[in-house]
Amino acid sequence: MAKPRRIGCWLPPEVPEAYLLTLCQKDRKPLLANPKFAAYLEKVLKSADRWDHEAWVIMPDHIHVLAGPKRRAYRVSDWSHFVKVGSRRLCPFIEGWQPGVYDYLLRSSDLGQGRWDYLKNNPVRAGLVRNWWEWSYFGGSLKRQALLVAAERDPTERPSPKPL
C-alpha cells in the first residue's frame, strides 16, 4: 500500500484521467539522459498497453511522463512498477529507481498547459540547454514538436547541449 494512502480519482467519469508522472533514479545518479536509455524507455512505454503516453522528457536523473490510463481501474502504482521493471530489464546500467512515483492528476486544460510547459522547460531550468527544443531526450508529441521548432531555426545559431 502506498504511504500515505493514495486518494482515488475524483474526476467525473466522463473526464479522462491524465497525470504528470515522475520517476527518479536511485540516489539521483545521472544515468538516464543518453540515446540508449531513450530508445529503451520508448519501447517500455509502447508496451505499457493499459496507458496512453502523450509526451515525456528524460533528465539525467529522472523522467517526467504525461500519461493517462485507458480505464479508471488501471492504477498509477501498477504503471510505475511496469516501467521500472521493464527499464531495468532492458538497461543493465540502470541501478534502480527510488521507491514510489510522483504523480499529479491534471484537473483542467489551464493546469494541463502549465504542466506541459513545466515538462518541456525542465532541461532549460536545469541549465542543460538554452532553449527547450535543443534537448535531445524528449519523446512522444514533445519530440515531434521539438523537431519542428528546431527545423525552423538556423542550426548555426543553436548552441550544442552541455555534456552530461
Query: What pLDDT was estimated at residue 65?
Result: 94
Query: What pLDDT was estimated at residue 2?
Result: 47
Average pLDDT estimate for 114-128: 89
Structural domains in the chain, CATH included, are 19-157 (3.30.70.1290)
Query: pLDDT, tens digit, for every residue of 141-151?
Result: 788 777 788 77
> All 3 cell numbers of residue 108?
483542467
- pTM of the prediction? 0.82
Distance CA 65, CA 112 (A): 13
Confidence of residue 161 (pLDDT cuts 50, 70, 90): low
Query: pLDDT, tens digit, for every residue of 28-54?
Result: 999 999 999 999 999 999 999 999 998
Distance CA 101, CA 82 (A): 12
> All 3 cell numbers of residue 63?
523522467
Report angle CA 79, 80, 85 to the nearest 5 degrees: 105
